[in-house]
Amino acid sequence: MLSAATLQVGESGVVKDVGGTDATALRLLEMGLVEGTVVTLLKRAPTGDPLQFRVRGFHLSLRSAEAGRIELAGSGE
């Protein structure tokens, strides 16, 4: 599965789904990470966490575990 956590700096992807039904999944959806949204990885901290993304014109920092829940559409989809 291609997820936001697997992107390299400068790469973009299109959100396909956010995994889970808990409060974290709901919060990610509320922040605009809904199907069809383009996300771009801007920075990765030296330790690997957090990751900084551009989503709908704003910058969003997420832990790798949170970003791993964001499934991206593959290049063939």
CA angle 12, 16, 17 (to 5 degrees): 120
The pTM (predicted TM-score) of the whole model is: 0.88
Q: How buried is 37 (Cβ within 10 angstroms: 0-12 exposed, 13-18 middle, 19+ buried)?
A: middle
Q: Token pair of 29, please?
A: 């959806």
State how far the Cα of 7 lies from the Cα of 71, in Å rounded to an integer: 11
Low-confidence ranges of the chain (pLDDT < 70): 74-77
What is the pLDDT, as a whole number, of residue 39?
Answer: 96
For position 48, what pLDDT does the model report? 85
The pLDDT value recorded for residue 16 is 96
Query: Which candidate, 9, 2, 20, places its Cα nearest to that of 29?
Result: 20
* pLDDT per position as a tens digit, 3-25: 999 999 999 999 999 998 899 99
pLDDT at residue number 74: 66
Amino acid identity at 19: G
